[in-house]
Amino acid sequence: MEIIPAIDIIDGKCVRLTQGDYSQKIIYNENPLDVALAFENVGIKRLHLVDLDGAKKGKIINYKVLEQIASKTTLIIDFGGGIKTDDDIDTVFNYGAHLATVGSIAVKNKDLFFTWIKKYGADKLFLGADVKNEKIAVGGWLETTTVSVYDFIEENLREGIKHIFCTDISKDGLLQGPANDLYKNLIQKFPNLNLTASGGVSNIKDLHNLKNNGCSGVIIGKAIYEGRITMDELKTFL
């Protein structure tokens, strides 16, 4: 199971929200590059970089942070938040991301998203299924749709998508454990799904449970920043 630390960016700083609520913001580090280097130094290979300003405003804002981390580390970076147009996705790749993280656009303009799959290849896209009561949420989690997560994943798998991460918003940032039942149900329904868990991870036991449930990766944020999971513990999964 791949360990993918998250760095969420607001105003160029490393922050975390609780349940996607922008009013519940904690700043963990003024310099995201320092955080990325710390991850790289313990042997972590992947990074989940989220432009929360971009997600809220609907356009990429913190591309300079991406450029800095991409140029000064060897981390495989997926970058998301505000990717809406062909120019946006080109910007993400031009500034050093290996994968473009896409969520809202795959719901609101699926035809455009499907053209990206054909143009860039499924290996260059990391599709986020943000979920509230098994329905897809979009726009930095500010809007819940009527789209079932099961229908959403099924349709995108048909189009060739390979990498999906699923975040249960009700779990995110609370450090009360991930949505194990949801992930088990998804993997049972889609046994060939390359599923990355996200949200709620609180301790090293959660990681073992996710691995046992069949998750191929896990995105971890607050548990690392709050010291609930140490770098030494993460090394056992590397």
What one-character-per-residue DSSP string does 176-190 give? S---HHHHHHHHHH-
- For the cut 80, the answer to whether the pLDDT of residue 94 exceeds it is yes
Q: What's the rounded Cα separation, in Å, for the pair 139 and 185? A: 25
How many angstroms separate the CA atoms of 117 and 99, rounded?
Answer: 12
What are the φ/ψ torsions at residue 122 (nearest 5 degrees)?
Answer: -60, -25
Residues 22, 140: Cα–Cα separation, whole Å: 9
Helix (H, G, I), strand (E, B) or coil at 64: helix
Q: Catalytic positions, please?
A: 8, 130
Architecture per CATH, domain 2-235, reads as: Alpha-Beta Barrel (3.20)
Percent of the chain exceeding pLDDT 90 equals 79
Annotated domain spans of the chain: 2-235
Structure tokens at 162: 């390979």
18-77 pLDDT, tens digit per residue, is 777 788 888 999 999 999 999 999 999 999 999 999 988 889 999 999 999 999 999 999
pLDDT of residue 140: 54
Neighbours of 192 (CB within 10 A): 7
**To the nearest whole percent, how much of the chain has pLDDT over 70?**
97
Has residue 109 got a pLDDT over 70?
yes
